A and B are shown apart, each in its own frame.
Chain A
Amino acid sequence: MDYLAYLLPLFQPQVLWAIALGTLGGIVIGALPGLTATMGVALLIPLTFGMPPVMGINMLIGIYIGGIYGGCISAILLRTPGTPASAATVLDGYPMARNGEAGKALGMATIASACGMLFASIVLATLAPQLAGVALKFGAPEYFALALFGLTIIASLSGDILKGAISGCLGVLISCVGADPISGVLRYTFGVSGFASGFSFTPALIGLFALSEVFTQLERLGRTEETPAKVSGRWPSYQDMRESANALVRGSLIGTIIGVIPGTGSGTASWISYNEARRTSKTPERFGTGYAPGIAATESANSAVCAGALIPLLALGIPGDVVTAVLMGGLMIQGLAPGPMLFETRPDIIVGIFGGTFLATIFMFVFGMMLIPIASKILLVPRRILTMSIVVFCFIGSFAINLNPVDLYTMVGFGILGWGMQKYGFSQAALCIALILGPLAEANLRRGLLQTGDDLVAFVSGPITLLFLGLTVISLALPYLQARRAKRAAA
């Protein structure tokens, strides 16, 4: 009964206001390229100083949840991922918007985000202490095996295996720029101090997906005057929902698990989920052409990561990603150090946070659905004006992240690269996956070998490592085996 009493403070009008405002602000922040959920939370922490803990923390969680969701808006409408988490949403979201189904794509994304969040919040509220143990099982070899498994997505995502492999290798090479994770030596910076941390991730993605599309549009502009796309509707059809159900469930599950593992993040979750949805679909060829389940898979996964990442934070005092690290600061400033003890000493706070994630999810869903017709009006802007505005957004967004002019070169460079890749059939998605997972694989391979004294057998001996390495082999071999069986059956 105590628990219900702990939930009551959440329903005071000013607390509800704070959560609603945080969520709405988060959505706007997430939708604007260059402003991330992390920055939103960090900038608003001082505002929460004077608030009671449950109110302040839940406002921050609202920003977090809204911010991760908001990223899909610009990804779908403008092919500009507002957050790294939504890069995978571009694949099906943008084609849907181009086909005149922008409203439906956003509706699907909103429903999927809410599903993922709800699922992960329930897991958070019921299993947090038990699941938190999983977070601690991951040492360097386990992270490496997970990253390697993730990298096999490249093989199945790119139609042309050779071109996919080239894109993937290029991505891994590009991710080598910057400080070496083990020795600290600067690699391939050519003496430019701005590259000391490597290419900044968000500017690179903005260039890769958004600026490259601008170039492609420019090529077409002179030739044809397009009619503005239709933007009607916001609810996916029954047919869409039925086809997406599988993707939603898998995405929520994958997102929650990846969220629990510290340091992997929502980008990884969305790609793995997208690949799983495609692999298990009856019509894999429709993915990438504007297929609703593609959005369902990525958005459910990256939202589930939010609540999933709260599990190690609250249960162990270990932040899984940058945003939760910032949230931890917000908690500590209230005099509440997260960790196993917090469950015993301040159950009111823990229950308040659980309740807050549910409320923020509901607000996210309502605001998201309300904003769809307003946001998708942007597509009514004549194509040539819109295209030029996107260029402006690309530059402002890339600069706003770190205030580092070098990021602008990164963005333009990746824009040209992405345009060339698109033109000659190389997968931008493969490059993006390699950029996310390459550094995770490298750092953990080398850290693990350092710890085992370069003993490969000791390195791969853990059960979780073997599990993921096994999955890697299966996911690489399965298409071949299936093709052979099909051939034999035909013969």
Chain B
Amino acid sequence: MNKHIIMTAALIGALTATAAYAYPDRPIQIVVPYSAGGGTDLSMRLLAESMQRHIPGATVIVRNQPGGGGAIGTSAIIHARADGYTVGAGAQGPLALLPHLGSADYTLDDVEFIGLVGRNLQVMIACKDAPFTDFDSFMAYAKEKAPQIGNSGAGGANHISTEAFAKAAGIKVESVPFGGSSEAMTACAGGHIQAMVASPAEALEQVKAGTVKPLFVEEEGRIDLFPDTPSAKEKGVDFTWSSWKGIIAPKGIPEADLHILRDGLKAAVADEEFQKKMNDLGEFVQYEDADAYKARARHDSVTAEAVIKDLGMYQMNK
């Protein structure tokens, strides 16, 4: 009889201990679907450090799971155990594009959005020796002939967004795919292609050195780094595009823990030291809550779907 009481007491004790546990009591993993050292990876490492300071008691670590243009790691995030200890970097390519190409085993509906961390603004640049130097001469050229525009990979965000711009502006382009944006930038600085889309930080040094010229930015208005460069929108082409990354998680995380994560992320992104480091890295920090992030992903997904269908690439890898 005594034994029973002790057992029951122990059981109740164990249960209450479980109920009263405080998330997080073990390390939170941020899965990055790209190799160590890239822009997304470095941003996430900075974020992990900041989140650690803003979620009480948390240890936040980064795990790289590259491959398949981000599909492998993103799938791992979405199909992870929904206990709040596995979250991941949700980037534009794997979330908004890959499902339309048929190379992902998930859709946007499977994603729990935590919050947006940053965007990569886009600027179209004229490469060395290109036959155009500003927006107007570029458009005039592209009405006649298709300029060769380099991108960082076939079917990637860089490729699709350029085709989407061509569609919106009513011009022809010939996309030349490269294995990554630094390969494309090498070809651009050497004059082997005529134009490409780059992030402002990537382009800035080359522009300063005079090798390449900025044509237009793909934002609503002008941006700080290139105050003299028009936006496509002010020139009458209704087109904006930026790539982005945030934190996503599998669906089904307990509501209370989700709150801790979302609040923690918000504070971590607002952190001054984080913002400074991100700025130095050339990243554009912008926080958006889960709903705005989700809406952004949906919007780009719809734009991309139409372009991918036009290119005949819809579900090509199914």
Name A's B-contacting residues (CB within 8 A). Answer: 38-39, 41-43, 45-46, 49, 135-140, 179-186, 193-194, 196-197, 200, 262-263, 312, 316-319, 322-323, 325-326, 329, 332-335, 337-342, 402-404, 443, 447, 450-451
In chain B, what residue has the closest Cβ to A136? Answer: B190
The answer for the CA separation of A301 and B148 in the assembled complex, in Å, is 35
Are B154 and A332 interface neighbours, CB within 8 A? no
Are A193 and B178 interface neighbours, CB within 8 A? no
**Nearest chain B CB to A462 CB, angstrom units:** 10
The answer for the CA separation of A334 and B161 in the assembled complex, in Å, is 31
Q: Which of B72, B176, B316 meets A194, CB within 8 Å?
A: B72
Which 10 residue pairs of A and B lie closest in terms of their CB atoms, listed nearest first? A196-B68, A326-B37, A339-B205, A184-B154, A42-B36, A136-B190, A184-B155, A139-B192, A42-B37, A340-B209
In chain B, what residue has the closest Cβ to A328? Answer: B182
The answer for the CA separation of A451 and B46 in the assembled complex, in Å, is 39
Q: Which of B23-44 contact A (CB under 8 A)?
A: 35-39, 41-42
* A–B complex contacts, Cβ < 8 Å, 7 sampled: A263-B186, A322-B37, A326-B37, A338-B205, A339-B209, A447-B178, A451-B148
- State which of B2-10, B13-21, B231-239, B274-282 sits at the interface with chain A: B274-282
Are B209 and A179 interface neighbours, CB within 8 A? no
With a cutoff of 8 Å between Cβ atoms, the chain A residues found around residue B317 in the complex are: 184-186
With a cutoff of 8 Å between Cβ atoms, the chain A residues found around residue B204 in the complex are: 337
**Nearest chain A CB to B283 CB, angstrom units:** 9
Are A181 and B154 interface neighbours, CB within 8 A? yes
B240 on the interface (CB 8 Å rule)?
A: no
Are B205 and A181 interface neighbours, CB within 8 A? no
The answer for the CA separation of A245 and B66 in the assembled complex, in Å, is 41
B140 on the interface (CB 8 Å rule)?
A: no
In chain A, what residue has the closest Cβ to B175? Answer: A450
**Nearest chain A CB to B159 CB, angstrom units:** 8
B185 on the interface (CB 8 Å rule)?
A: yes
With a cutoff of 8 Å between Cβ atoms, the chain A residues found around residue B65 in the complex are: 402-404
**Nearest chain A CB to B180 CB, angstrom units:** 8
Are B69 and A196 interface neighbours, CB within 8 A? yes
**Nearest chain A CB to B275 CB, angstrom units:** 13
The answer for the CA separation of A140 and B177 in the assembled complex, in Å, is 11
**Nearest chain B CB to A40 CB, angstrom units:** 9
**Nearest chain A CB to B77 CB, angstrom units:** 13
**Nearest chain B CB to A368 CB, angstrom units:** 25
Which of B42, B101, B209 is the most central at the interface, judged by chain A CB atoms within 10 Å of its CB?
B42
Are A402 and B67 interface neighbours, CB within 8 A? yes
**Nearest chain B CB to A312 CB, angstrom units:** 8
B49 on the interface (CB 8 Å rule)?
A: yes
The answer for the CA separation of A342 and B205 in the assembled complex, in Å, is 9
The answer for the CA separation of A153 and B265 in the assembled complex, in Å, is 53
In chain B, what residue has the closest Cβ to A316? Answer: B189
Are A341 and B177 interface neighbours, CB within 8 A? no
Apart from the given pairs A138-B186, A139-B190, A325-B182, 7 other A-B contacts in the complex at a CB distance below 8 Å: A136-B186, A179-B68, A184-B154, A185-B317, A322-B37, A333-B281, A338-B205
The answer for the CA separation of A181 and B187 in the assembled complex, in Å, is 16
**Nearest chain B CB to A61 CB, angstrom units:** 14
State whether A38 and B155 are in contact (beta carbons under 8 Å apart), knowing that A181-B177, A316-B189, A340-B209 are contacts in the complex: no
**Nearest chain A CB to B52 CB, angstrom units:** 11
State whether A49 and B72 are in contact (beta carbons under 8 Å apart), knowing that A42-B36, A263-B186, A329-B42 are contacts in the complex: no
The answer for the CA separation of A322 and B41 in the assembled complex, in Å, is 13
With a cutoff of 8 Å between Cβ atoms, the chain A residues found around residue B68 in the complex are: 179, 193-194, 196-197
Q: Which of B183-210 contact A (CB under 8 A)?
A: 183, 185-187, 189-193, 201, 204-206, 208-209
With a cutoff of 8 Å between Cβ atoms, the chain A residues found around residue B155 in the complex are: 179, 184
The answer for the CA separation of A312 and B71 in the assembled complex, in Å, is 31
With a cutoff of 8 Å between Cβ atoms, the chain B residues found around residue A329 in the complex are: 37-39, 42, 281
**Nearest chain A CB to B308 CB, angstrom units:** 10
Are A38 and B176 interface neighbours, CB within 8 A? no
State whether A337 and B177 are in contact (beta carbons under 8 Å apart), knowing that A135-B186, A193-B71, A322-B35 are contacts in the complex: no
Are A184 and B42 interface neighbours, CB within 8 A? no
In chain B, what residue has the closest Cβ to A342? Answer: B205
State whether A197 and B66 are in contact (beta carbons under 8 Å apart), knowing that A42-B37, A333-B42 are contacts in the complex: yes
Are B154 and A179 interface neighbours, CB within 8 A? yes
Q: Which of A138, A182, A325, A337 meets B154, CB within 8 Å?
A: A182
State whether A184 and B105 are in contact (beta carbons under 8 Å apart), knowing that A316-B189, A325-B37, A337-B201 are contacts in the complex: no
**Nearest chain B CB to A406 CB, angstrom units:** 8
Which of B41, B63, B153, B186 is the most central at the interface, judged by chain A CB atoms within 10 Å of its CB?
B186
In chain A, what residue has the closest Cβ to B63? Answer: A403
**Nearest chain B CB to A332 CB, angstrom units:** 5
Are A325 and B179 interface neighbours, CB within 8 A? no
Are B205 and A140 interface neighbours, CB within 8 A? no
State whether A184 and B182 are in contact (beta carbons under 8 Å apart), knowing that A38-B37, A316-B189, A333-B42 are contacts in the complex: no
Are B205 and A325 interface neighbours, CB within 8 A? no
